[in-house]
Chains A and B, each alone.
Chain A
Amino acid sequence: MPVVQRNGAGISLASAAAVAVSLLMCSNEVWAVPSFARQTGLACEACHTVFPELTPFGRQFKLNGYLIDNLPQVKGMTADKSEALLLNQLPPLSVQFIASYTKFNTAVPDPNGGPSQNGTVQFPEAFSLFYAGRIAPKLGGFIQVTWSNSSNTFGWDNTDIRFADQTTLAKENLTWGLTFNNSPTVQDAWNSTPAWRYPFNQTTSLAGSLPSPPPPSGTTQLDGIGNGTVAGGGIYGFWNNLVYAEFSAYGASPHNISAPLNSAFNGEVVQGVSPYGRIALQPTWGRNSLEVGLVYFQDNVVAAGQNVTSGTTNGFRDTALDAQYQFIGDDNIFSAEAIYIYEKQSLNATPGLSGAFITQTSNNLSTFRLGASYFYQRQWGGSVGYFSTSGSTNNQLYINGTPNTSGWALELDYLPWQNVKLAAQLILYSKFNGASNNYDGTGRNASGNNTLYLFAWLAF
């Protein structure tokens, strides 16, 4: 997937187009990897309902540092018989290959007049390499590098390296650890948070060099901040398979810079330390599991060209409420997820439609996602999702006064084998960038961006 520089200021059309942010688009896609199957000897279904969604056991595997291992090991030992080295004899490597066809309801205008080609084949659209599994005793990782068709380069993708251990607290098991990662929520274990939610794979034809509708303006930091922007780490604990708590902090770590980071970097930079907190409660009973939780993230972002340590910043405070339910039967699997993110914005250095910094600096933005899926025997199934962005009225910032965008994401899936997914996805927009009709002033309607996306997703 293309490594996308994203920001939540959602600002002028020019900068929105430059960062190519979409309400739905998330480059943090695909996290189920045969590397783990090779390392553990477990079939995909042990950890996934249908990849990439995790089962309760899969969440335990992740929170335990990706360490459960049944491969022969290269071992090293100190004089006092503690482990000094534990390397898999076979490295847990895997790849994924995604090929696709994308078509919009209304062809996107060509910059030189007339319509662009509508109905684009990408073969592949994306190709990823993974190392996923044990690195050292008690240290494991999920490391992804992705070639994307739109950029025609390999870029650094999702990475989560963690130390994990177990102890007891109040006579019950406590899994605890440290996570080091490059995107808030990439370390999360539930499929409701932005890094891991439905739709798990989306067309990249809304971004990059392909002609495409301009993305919706405005997305929250939690929705949009991704790898290639920040890096950070934190400490977490999961007690009695029931209570999860985490505190992490992030700082700027943009790609494509020559150190030290300074105002010559042509991108937005997170200033200082950005805290992240997450709590979740996960009761389970019989074949059911339910999660309810909160996420908090805040950051201050310096605009391109400003002094990275002292420049005026745009401030963001995100608070999210999320939930997930799963029923995992022998033949029938049903799951549902929801997340509501509310963001308070202090846009102190944000150019508006006129090019000048906006004076209505205090705004809010919220996004809501709801998804539900059903699978029969992990082979046939589908999902229905609803998405919505709404925000403060701000005529300095949004061409239609608000960033409001909403619609439905529908998908049908067939998996002839556990690691091969064939899918047909339909995104239907009822509102786009604040209007249903003529949202861009040239007569393009929200429904014109309705997208048919057919893809084959191979993980091996």
Chain B
Amino acid sequence: MRIGVWGGCLVMWACFGCSTQSQQQAPPLASQVCANCHGPRGDGVSPAFPRLAGQQAPYVEAQLNAFRDHSRGDPSAVAYMWGMASQLDNRSITQLAAYYAAQSPIPGAPGSEALMTKGKAIYEQGLPNEGVPACISCHGPNAEGKDNIPRLGGQYPAYLVKQLAYFKSELRANAPVMHAVTYNMTLEQMDAVTIYAASK
């Protein structure tokens, strides 16, 4: 079975650039280590750890590099990911990011109507009076993200809220633009917009 897996990995790595969604063989790290918290295909295990399935590859690469060089230092990053990323080489980071990007994103699920209505307004129009720009301008109409801007659709709302709180307090400091975005947001506004974005 192990030989078969390794053989499969070699074949997949040979045509890495042309792998199809959800068919790509997982790098051993992904299936043996990352899967314990992020799920076998990045599809999630617990809201404590973000889903990675369908996440933008440049974003995943940037985060793994930030964990490795400690430029991202929110409490969960320090406790879990600094250790996990410390011995990753550049090639592993690229392979992991490509693997997760190739997985089918988890479909979002709608939240309560009141929060969804409020969240949709914030996502599409921002909060002009508080200087909060519309999320749609960077994260896209379906919260799919692009390049270094992460996918939000299908993510655990609880994880997204925690990141917004970290950005506001600067406990997570590897995205200065997000500190400016969240500076004037209340927790209620964060709840609403993350429930909406995650539902996409």
Task: Spell out A's residues near B (CB within 8 Å).
Answer: 40-43, 45-46, 56-57, 60-61, 64, 68-72, 165-168, 172-173, 241, 284, 286-287, 328, 330
- Hey, which chain B residues are within 8 Å of A42, CB to CB? 79-80, 83-84
- Given A43-B78, A70-B86, are A287 and B32 neighbors across the interface (CB < 8 Å)? no
Shortest beta-carbon distance from B105 to chain A in Å: 19
- Given A41-B84, A330-B48, are A168 and B35 neighbors across the interface (CB < 8 Å)? no
B118 at the interface (CB under 8 A from A): no
- Hey, which chain A residues are within 8 Å of B82, CB to CB? 41
**B35 to chain A: closest residue by CB:** A173
Which size bracket describes the interface of B in this complex?
A: 20 to 34
Selected A-B contacts with CB under 8 Å, 8 pairs: A40-B84, A41-B84, A41-B86, A42-B80, A56-B45, A173-B40, A241-B45, A286-B46
Shortest beta-carbon distance from B161 to chain A in Å: 10
**B162 to chain A: closest residue by CB:** A330
Whether the pair B47, A287 counts as a contact (CB closer than 8 A) is: yes
Residues facing A in B128-177 (CB within 8 A) are: 162
B33 at the interface (CB under 8 A from A): yes
**A285 to chain B: closest residue by CB:** B46
Shortest beta-carbon distance from A46 to chain B in Å: 5
B1 at the interface (CB under 8 A from A): yes
Residues of B contacting A: mostly: helix
- Given A57-B37, A68-B33, are A43 and B80 neighbors across the interface (CB < 8 Å)? yes
- The total number of A-B Cβ pairs within 8 Å is 60
- Hey, which chain B residues are within 8 Å of A284, CB to CB? 45-46
B91 at the interface (CB under 8 A from A): no
Shortest beta-carbon distance from B150 to chain A in Å: 20
**A167 to chain B: closest residue by CB:** B1
Q: How far is the CA of A69 from the CA of B33 in the complex (A)?
A: 10
Q: How far is the CA of A41 from the CA of B79 in the complex (A)?
A: 8
Shortest beta-carbon distance from A111 to chain B in Å: 52
Q: How far is the CA of A20 from the CA of B40 in the complex (A)?
A: 48
B5 at the interface (CB under 8 A from A): yes
B125 at the interface (CB under 8 A from A): no
Question: Which one of B1, B48, B79, B87 contacts A70 once the chains associate, using CB atoms below 8 Å?
Answer: B87
- Hey, which chain A residues are within 8 Å of B94, CB to CB? none
Shortest beta-carbon distance from A162 to chain B in Å: 15
Whether the pair A70, B83 counts as a contact (CB closer than 8 A) is: yes
- Hey, which chain A residues are within 8 Å of B45, CB to CB? 56, 241, 284
**A240 to chain B: closest residue by CB:** B40
Shortest beta-carbon distance from B195 to chain A in Å: 15
Q: How far is the CA of A68 from the CA of B84 in the complex (A)?
A: 9
Residues facing A in B1-56 (CB within 8 A) are: 1-2, 5, 31-33, 35-37, 40, 45-48
- Given A43-B78, A43-B79, A68-B33, are A328 and B84 neighbors across the interface (CB < 8 Å)? no
- Hey, which chain A residues are within 8 Å of B86, CB to CB? 41, 70
- Hey, which chain B residues are within 8 Å of A43, CB to CB? 78-80, 83
Shortest beta-carbon distance from A48 to chain B in Å: 11
Whether the pair A46, B80 counts as a contact (CB closer than 8 A) is: yes
Beyond A40-B84, A166-B31, A173-B31, 9 extra complex contacts between A and B, CB < 8 Å: A45-B79, A70-B83, A71-B87, A167-B5, A168-B1, A173-B32, A241-B36, A287-B48, A328-B46
Q: How far is the CA of A166 from the CA of B162 in the complex (A)?
A: 33
- Hey, which chain A residues are within 8 Å of B33, CB to CB? 68
**B46 to chain A: closest residue by CB:** A287
